[in-house]
């Protein structure tokens, strides 16, 4: 059975780190899709948009936005941010 460091049990890591990882995943997916578009297009539009490209753009955008929302929720949960009243 692996022994986890105590840092992984901190509320900040549990509440915020997953959102950070989702943002990074979304950014990498969007960067890969943009790189493909840049190489394969004429600079204006991509004539044939493969299904995997559309999926990468959609998942990248969704992952990025979900990561931001998750981070904000995590910061509120640990008390680092409060909503104005």
For residue 2, what pLDDT is reported?
59
SS3 67: helix
Q: Is residue 10 part of a domain?
A: no
The token pair that represents 10 in the structure block: 């901190």
Please state at what angle helix 11-40 crosses helix 51-78, rounded to 10 degrees: 160
The verdict on residue 4 lying in a domain is: no
* Residue 7 included in any domain: no
Structural domains counted in the chain: 1
- Kindly state whether residue 52 falls inside one of the protein's structural domains: yes
Q: Residues 20-51: pLDDT tens digits? A: 999 999 999 999 999 988 888 877 777 788 89
Residue 24, domain member (yes or no): yes
Residue 5 domain-assigned (yes or no): no
What range does the domain containing 41 cover? 15-78
List, for residues 43-77, the tens digit of each pLDDT value.
777 778 889 999 999 999 999 999 999 999 888 88
């Amino acid at each position: 059975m692996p022994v986890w460091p105590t840092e992984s049990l901190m509320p900040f890591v549990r509440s915020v780190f997953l959102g950070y990882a989702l943002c990074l995943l979304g950014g990498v997916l969007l960067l890969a899709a943009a790189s493909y578009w840049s190489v394969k297009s004429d600079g204006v539009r991509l004539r044939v948009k493969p299904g995997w490209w559309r999926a990468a753009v959609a998942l990248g955008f969704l992952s990025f936005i979900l990561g931001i929302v998750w981070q904000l929720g995590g910061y509120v949960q640990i008390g680092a941010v409060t909503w104005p009243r």
